[in-house]
């Protein structure tokens, strides 16, 4: 167990998933803010019920912090923006961009995954996986395949990356707490891929096409279709010129 100025860090050799462990601990929190990290996960999870392959040398961690559930969408952007800032702090070769709602891409390759869930006692659990040393091979061709930071010349390890990430998150969280979502939204959009460009949004039962105009006050994607702005709360987006 370690502590920095704001987080208690609990390190495990192996867990099923860091999110499940953090949720269990949130019933009787070991600290107001804590992090669960492990060298290995046997049942890592990603968004929409997908699995997360947990390869050696990569970061698997879950932040647990008290936050009212109504701010869950804000937390998505706090986490992804902070990941972006942590990645760029290591100056990787290649352009780094944010893909709505929470992907970090380097040269159109995905280097991280985020899964936010509700814990106990009004805790939010932010599960994060970062491909530091290696990325799982794709079973089929993908528009945005996985990659690792090492593929872009970044030489770091899990403890160092976690330290840089937590520092970025603390700064963004303080900004959010003092000024609300607006400055976080503006910072996030300044690094967004495809802003003001035509995109395709795959929804559960249909596909929408329009111009990516920005984000609403609750983090919804704003899609311009002719003279109408349509908010999109959930979906997979693709960029028309790449689709």
d(CA 102, CA 241): 21
d(CA 63, CA 227): 41
**pLDDT given for residue 2 in this prediction:** 60
Q: Are 98 and 192 in contact (CB under 8 A)?
A: yes
**pLDDT given for residue 117 in this prediction:** 95
**CATH of region 198-239:** 2.30.30.100
Q: pTM above 0.85?
A: yes
Q: Which fold has domain 2-190?
A: BirA Bifunctional Protein; domain 2 (3.30.930)
Number of Cβ within 10 Å of residue 183's Cβ equals 13
Q: Are 111 and 146 in contact (CB under 8 A)?
A: yes
Q: Are 134 and 148 in contact (CB under 8 A)?
A: yes
**pLDDT given for residue 141 in this prediction:** 62
Helix, strand, coil abundance in the chain, percent, nearest 5: 30, 35, 40
The CATH 3.30.930.10 portion of the chain extends over: 2-190
d(CA 28, CA 15): 18
**pLDDT given for residue 136 in this prediction:** 80
The CATH 2.30.30.100 portion of the chain extends over: 198-239
Q: Are 64 and 124 in contact (CB under 8 A)?
A: yes
**pLDDT given for residue 4 in this prediction:** 67
Q: Are 21 and 127 in contact (CB under 8 A)?
A: no
Q: Give the residue ranges of the chain where pLDDT is below 50.
A: 46-51
**pLDDT given for residue 47 in this prediction:** 47
DSSP 67-121: --GGGHHHHHHHHHHHHHHHHHHT--SS-EEEETTTEEEETTEE-EEEEEEE-ST
């Amino acid at each position: 167990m370690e502590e920095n100025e704001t987080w208690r860090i609990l390190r495990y050799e192996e867990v099923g998933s860091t999110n499940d462990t953090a949720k269990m601990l949130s019933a009787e929190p070991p600290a107001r803010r804590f992090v669960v990290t492990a060298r290995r996960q046997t049942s890592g999870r990603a968004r929409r019920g997908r699995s997360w392959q947990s390869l050696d040398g990569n970061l698997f961690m879950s932040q647990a912090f008290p936050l009212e559930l109504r701010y869950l969408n804000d937390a998505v952007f706090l986490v992804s923006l902070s990941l972006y800032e942590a990645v760029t702090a290591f100056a990787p070769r290649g352009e780094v961009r944010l893909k709505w709602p929470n992907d970090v891409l380097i040269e159109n390759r995905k280097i991280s995954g985020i899964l936010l869930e509700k814990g106990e006692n009004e805790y939010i659990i932010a599960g994060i996986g970062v491909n530091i040393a290696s990325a799982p091979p794709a079973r089929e061709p993908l528009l945005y395949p996985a990659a690792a930071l090492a593929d872009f010349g970044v030489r770091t390890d899990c403890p160092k990356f976690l330290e840089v990430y937590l520092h970025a998150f603390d700064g963004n969280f303080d900004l959010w707490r003092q000024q609300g979502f607006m400055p976080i939204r503006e910072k996030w959009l300044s690094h967004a891929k495809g802003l003001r460009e035509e995109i395709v949004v795959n929804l559960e039962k249909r596909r929408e096409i329009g111009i990516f105009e920005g984000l609403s006050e609750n983090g919804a994607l704003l899609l311009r279709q002719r003279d109408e702005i349509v908010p999109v709360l959930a979906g997979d987006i693709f960029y028309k010129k790449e689709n």
